[in-house]
């Protein structure tokens, strides 16, 4: 069985104490249940400023086995230089990061990030040896208009750099209308979109994101072509995050 990837996007939440408590609770939960490491890979994506301290609390065994990975929530499309406030992919790799979320809808919408920019960032991520977790998904209006497959296909084709493959790239399908809203896509919405994405990208992992919680995760994980979840709100509570993993 291919392990499910359980990715937590902590967004801009929590002080250092909160991040470390959450890390310790999650790591203790994983260590206490050996079945979890056999069924899931874990990815924790704290805010930039907490990355190094979170990494120090992941546990040597988890880091070496690769079962718990550290991720960032963005990186620059540039190598280095006069880009005030940005963080390069190489800097992330240097502080122990293994993956980076790119093209999240909150960046596509809130920071006007285009798929071309996401592609340039993913290129940097790959150069630095990071896994790019590339987010795609339609808005509510696009779904109502019936253009969701076309939108997602266009985002994927324009966001994936040359050389993207199953080792260095993960796709997260996140319908924008399901993020942080409590609305989840129906099993049929998820099944048909993940099948479509699979036909478009081949064997890369495809995560579902959008109000995933411990009580709806089992249905999602039993859906064909759902290789894991990208979790926002519920990843900030260790019992929810671990509960999602336990439903694999």
Site for ligand PEP, rule CB under 6 A? 9, 174, 179-180, 209-212, 230-234
Nearer to ligand PEP, 29 or 137 (CB): 137
Instruction: Give the distance between the most distant pair of CA atoms in the chain.
Output: 49
Q: How far is the CB of 172 from ligand PEP (least distance, A)?
A: 7
Nearer to ligand PEP, 37 or 206 (CB): 206
Nearer to ligand PEP, 37 or 209 (CB): 209
Q: How far is the CB of 85 from ligand PEP (least distance, A)?
A: 21
- Residue 174 annotated as catalytic: yes
How distant, in Å, are the alpha carbons of 52, 64, 151, 152, 239 from that of 196? Answer: 37, 35, 12, 9, 32
Nearer to ligand PEP, 29 or 210 (CB): 210
Among 50, 104, 126, 148, which one carries the catalytic annotation?
Answer: 104
Nearer to ligand PEP, 26 or 37 (CB): 26
d(CA 137, CA 141): 12
DSSP string, 230-244: EESGGGGSHHHHHHH
- Residue 25 annotated as catalytic: no
Q: How far is the CB of 108 from ligand PEP (least distance, A)?
A: 12
What distance lies between CA 213 and its chain's CA centroid? Answer: 15
Q: How far is the CB of 64 from ligand PEP (least distance, A)?
A: 28
Q: How far is the CB of 148 from ligand PEP (least distance, A)?
A: 17
Closest residue by Cα to residue 125 from 156, 95, 168: 168
- Residue 49 carries which DSSP code? G
Among 77, 106, 138, 174, which one carries the catalytic annotation?
Answer: 174
Name the residue number minimizing CB distance to ligand PEP.
Answer: 232
Cα atoms found within 13 Å of the Cα of residue 239, Cβ hemisphere only? 1
3-state secondary structure of 208: strand
Residue pair 177/183 in contact (Cβ under 8 Å)? The answer is yes
Write out the catalytic residue numbers: 104, 174
């Amino acid at each position: 069985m291919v392990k499910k990837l359980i990715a937590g996007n902590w967004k801009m939440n929590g002080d250092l104490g909160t991040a470390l408590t959450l890390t310790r609770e999650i790591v203790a939960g994983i260590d206490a249940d050996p079945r979890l490491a056999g069924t899931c890979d874990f990815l924790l994506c704290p805010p930039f400023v907490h990355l190094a301290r979170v990494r120090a609390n992941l546990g040597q065994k988890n880091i070496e086995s690769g079962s718990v990975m550290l991720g960032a929530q963005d990186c620059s499309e540039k190598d280095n230089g006069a880009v005030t406030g940005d963080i390069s992919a190489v800097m992330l790799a240097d502080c122990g990061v293994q993956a980076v979320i790119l093209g999240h809808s909150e960046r596509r919408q809130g920071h006007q990030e285009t798929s071309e920019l996401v592609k340039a960032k993913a290129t940097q991520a790959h150069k630095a040896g990071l896994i790019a977790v590339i987010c795609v998904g339609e808005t509510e209006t696009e779904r109502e208009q019936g253009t969701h497959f076309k939108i997602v296909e266009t985002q994927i084709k324009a966001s994936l750099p040359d050389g993207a493959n199953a080792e260095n790239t993960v796709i997260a399908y996140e319908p924008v209308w399901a993020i942080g809203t409590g609305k989840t896509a129906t099993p049929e919405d998820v099944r048909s979109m993940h099948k479509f994405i699979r036909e478009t990208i081949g064997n890369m992992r495809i995560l579902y994101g959008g109000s995933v919680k411990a009580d709806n995760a089992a249905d999602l994980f039993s859906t064909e072509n759902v290789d894991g979840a990208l979790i926002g709100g519920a990843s900030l509570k260790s019992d929810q995050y671990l509960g999602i993993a336990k439903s694999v």
